[in-house]
A and B are shown apart, each in its own frame.
Chain A
Amino acid sequence: MQATEKAPVTSVKADPVLLRVQGAFKHFPISGLGGLSVRAVDGVDLEIRRGETLGLVGESGCGKSTLARLITALLPVTAGKIILDGQDITRLRGRKLRRVRRKMQMIFQDPFASLDPRMTVGGILQEPLDNFGIGSGSDRTRRVQELLRLVGLNPNFNNRYPHEFSGGQRQRIGIARALAVNPSFIVCDEAVSALDVSIQAQIINLLQDLQNEFNLTYLFIAHDLAVVRHLSDRIAVMYLGKVVETADRNDIYDRPQHPYTKALLSSIPVPDPVVERDRAPISLKGEIPSPVNPPSGCRFHPRCPIARAPGVCSEVEPLLEPHGARDQSAACHFAGQA
């Protein structure tokens, strides 16, 4: 076992891909309804390269938060592989899994729910250091203070409780906690969505600076495409449990291949009245269908402006294939024709 585990380590250094998601599924069975389940993540393939920020965007119920919990192994997959640094983490349990988490951390959505109200800020930041046995006792206290200072908080506040801090400050404590173990990969799950606009900017800037400073790789998940595009190098768009398009941040805006991406982009108002006057959003019919019973064929076809249904779109499920620019893929029978 040791030899096979050791072998990939050397090749890993050369591998530009840090995380691979291969055919990930997550179905939540609905109790009492024989065999029915919520197909939250329904066959996702994804690659995240070292040092990049992959933005994952989609509307509510598209499965992006569930995918985040599969990647961080907070939820077990129904099927599929999550390969971090050459190691499939879906089969790891207990201590081995905990050791992997040293490389991978998460920043959560709600700054009021992500910090234990019964623990001091110092205790919250020290917990990861204790768990992973990082440094000696006095070392840890000092490190906690440096972490607080790192995110612009007074290091002497380590004995304060979370409720004494504002939303933005709490989110920074959450970021400091994620950085405590010096991870290389951080999953940000709607990390700025719950914050007021001005504080959102503060956290976004901080995330950018930390990435430069510590060579971090981010998976940045949000429903706000403007924020995702601002932070990301590449973007993946999810719809009803599937990735429908991935591309470079500029390609996805300049030449979206999937009609859903196009509609999503056109739906976001731009803070510029002159530009807004000439923009007309592509109006999609209806709303997102239930993930319990997704539409046949292409899941987007009932709302799609260019779908041929009945026809290929309602019968054959399109695969995520290269379309458009280099490094761009879309899952659409008529990619680029919208």
Chain B
Amino acid sequence: MATAIGIAQPVDWDVPEQTGLWKDAWIRFRRNRLAVAGLVVVIILVVMAFGARLPGTPGGLWKILHLAGDPFTQDVTNTYALPSLQHPMGTDILGRDLMARVFYGASISLTIGIVVQFLILFIGGSIGMAAGYFGGWIDNLLMRFTDIMFAFPDLLLVLVFVAAFGPSFWSIFIALGLVYWTNLARLVRGQVLSIKEKEYVEAAIMTGTSPLKLIWKHLVPNSLGPVIVTLTFGIPAAIFTEAALSFLGIGIRPPEPSWGVMIEDGYAGIFADPLQVIFPAIAVAFTMLSFTFIGDGLRDALDPRMKR
């Protein structure tokens, strides 16, 4: 072969710079107005919740700023007050400031909604990953177990767990985690099964990647997108379940004002003062709607098939 070989052709020396994958997703997310609105509402809720929980002062930042009262101070002379400048949402049966209680309740609901997702991620993620990665009898065993857990009615199972652990913030947290991981386990297993067939995983194995590194560097990052979406949709579900539990009287204990507790409290006097139910109900609805919109936005933004 006497032809002129080996002269490097710097022809595609330049590659047009493109945005990274996450940045790309953010650009797509931003274009979804509802999702952005949802994100704004959630940020406001978080600020509300944090403000209400300022340590040392019972009413938190909102009381200091004279925006709301104290969620725990009773005033029997002023029960069922209608909204006024002093109490923008009125007061409840014990004369406590309703707005302060809604704000404080946000901190409980959001904490439960979000923290439970970490537990779900841990349980569902590891079971799904193990089932998908190892396959065979391990997969069979884990997935049948998942099916059984899935077959139980959710709320009933949560009730059983809460009853077993005794009602407290932590028991609700654990009960929700133990019940709601099944969807994620199935999702992660499916993701891992499809990613495992990809040529880049074979390539990683060929270049000597150990099993642990393979999971951590290739399988986890590539299955993250749909997982984030599912977890986001899980937040409103957890908030709703907590509200339902508290409404049934086995969730958060009074006087802690979770939104569910407040709806239950107000339910007794719903005809006397419907606002007692309407305000916390609106808060629950808004939060759920916002997280659902964010989830929708994320699903579209993280889908690699969507092009800008």
In the complex, are there CB atoms of A and B closer than 8 Å? yes
Residues of A within 8 A of B (CB): 69, 72, 74, 98-99, 101-102, 104-106, 108-110, 113-119, 127-128, 131-132, 149, 152-154, 157, 160-161, 163-166, 168-169, 174, 177-178, 180-181, 205, 209, 212
With A110-B199, A113-B200, A152-B10 known as contacts, the answer to whether A164 contacts B208 (CB < 8 A) is: no
CB of A109 within 8 A of CB of B206, answer no
- Residues in chain A near residue B14, CB distance under 8 A: 154
B208 contacts A113, CB within 8 Å? Answer: no
- A101 interface neighbour in B13, B18, B208, Cβ under 8 Å: B208
Stretch in B1-9, B118-126, B170-178 touching the partner: B1-9
Residues of A within 8 A of B17 (CB): 160, 164
Q: How far is the CB of A165 from chain B (nearest CB, A)?
A: 6
Closest 8 CB pairs of A and B: A128-B207, A131-B208, A114-B199, A118-B221, A108-B199, A116-B200, A98-B208, A113-B199
CB distance from B23 to the nearest CB of A (A): 10
A153: contacting residue among B12, B200, B209, CB under 8 A:
B12
- Can you list 7 A-B contacts with CB-CB less than 8 angstroms, sorted by A residue number? A108-B203, A113-B199, A118-B221, A118-B222, A132-B207, A181-B207, A181-B208
Is the C-beta of B15 less than 8 angstroms from some C-beta in chain A? yes
Cβ distance A169 to chain B, nearest Cβ, rounded Å = 6
Chain B residue nearest in CB terms to A123? B217
Interchain CA distance A181-B207 in the complex, whole Å? 8
Chain A hits for B9, CB < 8 A = 152
Residues in chain B near residue A153, CB distance under 8 A: 12-13
A163 pairs with B207, CB closer than 8 A: no
Find A169's partner among B15, B21, B203, B204 (CB 8 Å cutoff).
B15
Chain A residue nearest to B221 in the complex (CB):
A118
Residue of chain B at shortest CB distance from A108: B199
* B residues 156-170 touching A (CB-CB < 8 Å): none
Cβ of B16 under 8 Å from chain A: yes
Is B285 part of the binding interface, using a Cβ–Cβ cutoff of 8 Å? no
- Given that A110-B199, A152-B9, A161-B21 are contacting pairs, would A127 and B206 also be in contact in the complex, using a CB cutoff of 8 Å? no
Q: Is the CB of A154 within 8 A of B15?
A: yes
Cα of A169 to Cα of B6 in the assembled complex, Å: 17
Count of B interface residues, CB-CB < 8 Å: 34
Q: Which residues of chain A come closer than 8 Å to B206, judged between CB atoms? A: 72, 74, 101, 104-106, 178
- Please name the residue on chain B nearest to A205 by beta carbon: B5
Considering only CB atoms, which chain A residue lies closest to B220 in the complex? A118
Which residues of chain B come closer than 8 Å to A152, judged between CB atoms? 8-12
Q: Which of B5, B6, B208 contacts A132 (CB 8 A)?
A: B208
Across the interface, name the chain B residue whose C-beta is closest to A72.
B206
Q: Quick one: given A117-B222, A131-B208, are A74 and B202 in contact (CB under 8 Å)? A: yes
Q: Which residues of A contact B200 (CB under 8 A)?
A: 113-117
Contact (Cβ within 8 A) B207 A164: no
Pairwise interchain contact B204-A117, C-beta atoms closer than 8 A: no
Docked complex Cα distance between A306 and B67 (Å): 95
Tell me whether A102 and B304 are in contact in the complex, defined as CB-CB below 8 angstroms, given that A157-B15, A169-B12 are known contacts: no
Complexed CA–CA distance, A165 and B14 (Å): 10
Contact B203 A177 (CB under 8 A): yes
Contact A106 B12 (CB under 8 A): no
Partner of A108, one of B1, B202, B304: B202
Contact A209 to B203, CB < 8 A, known contacts A118-B21, A131-B209 = no
Cross-chain contact A209 with B18 (CB below 8 angstroms): no
Cβ-defined contact, A163 with B13, below 8 A: no
Task: Tell yes or no: B20 within 8 A of A by CB.
Answer: yes
Residues of B within 8 A of A163 (CB): 18, 21
Residues of B within 8 A of A165 (CB): 15
Docked pose: A69 CA to B206 CA in angstroms: 10
Decide if B64 is an interface residue (CB 8 Å cutoff): no
A207 CB → nearest B CB, Å: 12
B44 at the interface (CB under 8 A from A): no
CB of A128 within 8 A of CB of B208, answer yes
Instruction: Decide if B66 is an interface residue (CB 8 Å cutoff).
Output: no
Q: B87 near A: Cβ within 8 Å?
A: no
A127 to B209, CA, bound (A): 8
Would you call B77 an interface residue if the criterion is a C-beta within 8 Å of the partner chain's C-beta atoms? no
A110 to B199, CA, bound (A): 8
Indicate if the CB atoms of A177 and B8 lie closer than 8 Å.
no
Chain A: minimal CB distance from B201 (Å): 8
